[in-house]
Amino acid sequence: FMYGLIALNFIIPFVMVFVGYILKKHPVKDMTSGNGYNTPTSRKSQEHWDYAQSIAPNILLVLAKH
């Protein structure tokens, strides 16, 4: 059990960095796709959506490095 938790502590940051770089290189343009940073606030308008898609990868990368 303990080794599984230790493995997760190493795997999850790598996944976060990978997803952050993918979203940074290929931001999601379509709100209806179900991909990207998808929250009620980000779906209010296209402007909200574009802003959320531009900032979410940076947040993921910062959180993964801590």
pLDDT at 33: 87
Residue in the block written with tokens 């179900």: 34
pLDDT tens digit sequence for 33-63: 888 899 999 999 999 999 999 999 999 999 9
At residue 38, φ and ψ (nearest 5 deg) are -115, 100
- The pTM of this model reads 0.76
Banded pLDDT at 66 (limits 50, 70, 90): confident
Whole-number average pLDDT of the chain:
92
Per-residue tokens: 46: 């296209």
Q: Where are the alpha helices (DSSP H) in 1-66?
A: 2-25, 46-64
Q: Which of 23, 18, 16 is nearest to 38 (CA)?
A: 23
